[in-house]
Amino acid sequence: MAITKRRLLATTLVTGLALLAAWAPARAAEPTPTPTATSPNIIFVLVDDLAWNLVQYLPQVRQLQSEGATFTNYTVTDSLCCPSRSSILTGQFPHDTGVFTNGGADGGFAVFKGRGNENRTFATVLQGKGYRTGFLGKYLNGYLPADTQGGALPYVPPGWSEWYVAGNGYPEYNYDLNENHTVVHYGSQPADYLTNVLSRKGKDFIQRSAAANTPFLLEVSTFAPHSPFTPANQDLDDFPGLTAPRTAAYDRLPTNPPSWLADNGPLTAQEKSTLDTNFRKRAQSVQAVDRLIGNLRAQLTTSGIADNTYVVFSSDNGFHMGEYRLTGGKQTAFDTDVRVPLVVAGPGVVPGSQRAEIVQNIDLAPTFQRIGAADVGTHVDGRNLLPLAQGEAAANWRTGALIEHHGPNQAADDPDAQDRRNGSPITYEALRTATYTYVEYSNGEREYYDRTVDPHQLNNIAAGLSATRRTALHDALAAYVACHSHSACWTAGHVPA
């Protein structure tokens, strides 16, 4: 199969690992760090629909945890692919990116591009600092490899030095990649399995970047373990008899559930069987992801740059499988969907550490930019996480995360379309702190879960809150939804305890 010749960029070696300044809520933006000798590299592995319950089947991720920092209160801005990925790329909430869904008037690739978001991603910033930037795998819903977007060649967004991106890569076979403006088809042979292809291309990108003595950022964005949960051939027989976890929330409704959930009856025997089969397939499909991480890290060592590279692992959203009488899906404000893994290893990161601060996917872009000695603009809603990973105290850190969702999300062409049985919430906004989850729906319904005594979120006590408490929560949520800058969103993130 003919693969196009990869472009080698002769970029200037950026001087500078950031001397990371302390944060202060009053300032509008973090100043440019003072650079030192050599800019560190960044590898960001982003997987699709991976919940915390799959980490136990990922030995490379557990190894990464032992060598780095795990953020135990990391949440996404929306448990849905495109809004979450838009926040990751820009460091902004959905109310600032304008991306709330996977397509249509308020979401998808077309809205992300149309609002100019592609010109202010961490890739454009780091490329401007001399970084070689590479993107492999899944971009945004609605992106098609052959689409020229009005140009002469298949479209590659600004900021990316190298681009190997699919459209419908969910089946893992029989897909197209836009490889630096040329569409290449992959078939149904074992060597065509998409996660393995991304692994090979990632290793090659690292090797060539190291040989060029150029700092790089590489995002490898897998489609696994998104449905249809296709494992690589070598993993098809793994984990015989594995079933979906039977947590306290499995096949149970919360008390006082919202109306979109209230009518769901108990899971049927067939639904439980399907959930068990799909959970096993999910565990099988992430084995290729685990090997990918191991292969990338091995290449870092071979190329002699492991000690100067940050490796970051995360997911765009979680995934419920039987909890709250819901079959497989996402999009809710429950922790099954919004709380996902974030692991960071690299220079100065405290091995085996855990950080319980409230952090979100809006914090990744400013973190990557600060690693690359770049400014963080006043339009960025998130905050640099590297000081936390390196063990610094978190004086006056934010106390609440904001979650924003538009729904129900039932477009026929949406790979994440869900019905009542999967869970199809109406539009909501939510606050999540270290101790509670508070949700306001567009129809006026409310949820409040005290997770200190109700960690599985089974007792909605919103109706029992005092009027004073309800007002304080509503006002805090409204202020958060209305924030539109680095400083304003930092201030709004300090919500009532």
Closest C-alpha to 474, from 426, 430, 432: 430
In DSSP notation, 10-74 reads: --PPPP----PPPP-TT-SSPPPPPP-S-PPEEEEEEESS--GGGGGG-HHHHHHHHHSEEETTE
For the chain, first and last CA: distance in Å?
Answer: 58
483 a catalytic residue:
no
Q: Which residue blocks in 156-230 are alpha helix, DSSP H?
A: 194-211
Q: Are 48 and 315 in contact (CB under 8 A)?
A: yes
Going by their DSSP bridges, the two strands 182-186 and 359-360 should be labelled as unpaired
Name the 3-class secondary structure at 282: helix
Cα–Cα dist 197/283, whole Å? 19
What is the rounded (10 degree) CA torsion for 334, 76, 203, 310? -120
Of the CA atoms within 13 Å of residue 337, those in its CB half-sphere come to: 30
Q: Are 104 and 411 in contact (CB under 8 A)?
A: yes
Chain mean position to CA 105: 22
Cα–Cα dist 179/136, whole Å? 9
Cα–Cα dist 108/103, whole Å? 4
Kindly report each contact of residues 7-11 with a partner whose C-beta sits within 8 Å and lies 24 or more positions away, as own/partner: 7/161, 7/162, 7/180, 8/208, 8/212, 9/132, 9/161, 9/212, 9/214, 10/212, 11/130, 11/131, 11/132, 11/161, 11/214
Enumerate residues 6+ apart whose C-beta is below 8 A from 57: 239, 283, 286, 287, 290
Residue 368 β-bridge partners: none
Instruction: Please identify which of the residues 81, 82, 483, 489 carries the catalytic annotation.
Output: 81
Q: Which residues are annotated as catalytic? A: 81
